[in-house]
Structure 1
């Protein structure tokens, strides 16, 4: 195995073929089955993208209604899952509760052994409907609060936010939350998606693949970055305080969360620009633009000092905060949005499968003799 073929972190290694999505960094575009993700997020709904990712095309108006109905019909979380979540310590991180809940769902799937495309499509809708309930109610259970069930009079997107905040979202809040779900729905081959495809390549089931994705997404270098961004903003409290915090971290050579995405090192993450716009609009509507100007100040400092652009998490974090989502649920919300992309990747992997089995560049010793150890002793 030559050192020339070794790429730490598999950087720029092409690991699979896909027709699902592509990051066109040079043109600052995220392609989702041929469409620009930002264009989709501005004009359509998350439900439309569910159809696009799972079926390969945008749904018609009637098909969109059918998708909403399918999600509503699947929205019955088994009592056994609530019992499992209730048995966890109250100190359990929501991502750990989510990982447990997703894994446990497999036991309640009567057609688990059926790995056909049709069965996996049904499984994807089941996960899309149930994961938001696990996200919201695992949090409420840990706080000794009552369960919040989805309402039949709300859309799928509105229900996802309602179950977290316990209040019906306004039309504007639903629109911004729809954009949050859209920008997190799919992003080519990040760590969690790669983990899901690796697991699926063994012909494991979708629940196992997504359980691995949850574990991957929990890390602060991946999904957990949005929580870290918000915690920095809350710690700093003011524009001046955030400027001091960012400059101190840079002086100490600490990583500034929300910057330095491996793909968007020297180019803008188009999703961050959309969330930046949403944050500005929300700030103007509320009359409190403090978080917006804190983020602007931090962005300017990091660009001047390091030449880095913010990624999605940097601006999505304060948007979720203004929507009333607890910081601990930022990464679970990320996963709930990404379920559709993960399901599409798992299905694609199983349709054109090849087991992932890379090799290593060995750096350990050679030639050790057991007989010599025995003789020396």
Structure 2
């Protein structure tokens, strides 16, 4: 039997590339983004500060951040033909499939599609950041027979995104927490979707194709759908008194409890989860109802006791999005939208020092057969 040395199922522990973008320092419970702690940035700065950091490898001044926001807002608005495509999609179509289709269609309207220069890819990144939120929101609204909404440039980038989803102008706390959620979803080293984007980019395909492929990857239940599953479990339980019995029943039935465990975070908590836990408490304080927070805390304690697993980001992001009035079907598309800047940064880095990904296999089939 032919063999390849160092075979590791799922490429677990395999170093796939050099990167100066991000690193998960599990021992120190830190997510490093171009030298900065993601959680510290998320507490002190805004999503567009992080976008600038990923694009330019340094934090912006206030003026530079404002200029970046103007750049993005100048690219607001979907082509009419893309809107027409979104309206033609089947009503029962999965929101991630609709998003993937919208991004792919958008590629055809970019005059710099085949220009792989750093300058052109930066401009295309700006366009994707400007337009993916509109695809997320309006593909869903079209499927629900709701009126499509236009961007409101007078709102901040994140407040506009939340408005497109809910149809309501968010308050200051809601806009701030949504902005923070985009930050903690923005970049996370080398998950499957980012690896997919880099593999596609390594062929010198275009940046839209790489993001489209990443969207298909993120749709998978083992990657991006956990936040939706968490919220459905919480709604199934309904009250804090029923969450433990429900989880115990699921464990007896050997069902997987989504929102817990992570291939990287096995022995320590995901710091992003702890950050969103604080955000959830703020929202509960705002409305004067702490039941969702109490349910989540009980669930966290049960899984830690029974399985010795810690919550990941999705576990606390799900109820945060629920309280922000976001439809459950859009939780994963929002994840992809927030991650767009991380994906595009990886694509640009890959192209800047490219080598085609072409791994080998460990063959386990028969040999020496003859017709």
- Normalising by structure 2, we get a TM-score of 0.98
- Alpha-carbon shift at residue 240 of structure 1 (Å): 2.2
Aligned partner of 2:14 in structure 1 is 13
Give the SS at the match of 2:300: helix
Once residues 365 and 245 of structure 1 are traced to their aligned partners in structure 2, the CA distance between those partners, rounded to angstroms, is 47
Aligned partner of 1:105 in structure 2 is 106
Aligned partner of 2:334 in structure 1 is 333
Aligned partner of 1:71 in structure 2 is 72
- Alpha-carbon shift at residue 284 of structure 1 (Å): 1.7
Map residues 356-371 of structure 1 onto 2, 5 A cutoff.
Answer: 356-370=357-371
| 1:303-338 Cα shifts (integer Å, max 9, x gaps) | 011111000000000001101100000000000100
| 1:247-278 Cα shifts (integer Å, max 9, x gaps) | 11112222110011110011110000000011
- Does residue 352 of structure 1 match 2:353? yes
5+ residue gaps, structure 1, are 371-377
Contact 2:107 2:113 in 1 (8 A): yes
Aligned partner of 2:88 in structure 1 is 87
Contact 2:3 2:363 in 1 (8 A): no
- Does residue 159 of structure 1 match 2:132? no
Give the SS at the match of 1:108: coil
Once residues 267 and 256 of structure 2 are traced to their aligned partners in structure 1, the CA distance between those partners, rounded to angstroms, is 16
Give the SS at the match of 1:31: strand
Aligned partner of 1:31 in structure 2 is 32
- Alpha-carbon shift at residue 152 of structure 1 (Å): 2.2
- Alpha-carbon shift at residue 41 of structure 1 (Å): 0.4
RMSD of aligned residue pairs (Cα, Å): 0.9
Map residues 108-147 of structure 1 onto 2, 5 A cutoff.
Answer: 108-147=109-148
| 1:20-52 Cα shifts (integer Å, max 9, x gaps) | 000000000000000000000000000101100
Give the SS at the match of 2:169: coil
Once residues 198 and 134 of structure 1 are traced to their aligned partners in structure 2, the CA distance between those partners, rounded to angstroms, is 24
Aligned partner of 2:284 in structure 1 is 283
Contact 2:39 2:272 in 1 (8 A): yes
Structure 1 runs of 4+ with >4 Å offset: 1-4
- Alpha-carbon shift at residue 17 of structure 1 (Å): 0.5
How many residue pairs were aligned?
370
Aligned partner of 1:43 in structure 2 is 44
5+ residue gaps, structure 2, are none
| Structure 1 range deviating more: 251-260 or 322-331 | 251-260
Higher Rg? 1
| 1:149-201 Cα shifts (integer Å, max 9, x gaps) | 11121011110101000011000001100111000000000000000000000
| 1:272-294 Cα shifts (integer Å, max 9, x gaps) | 00000111111122111111111
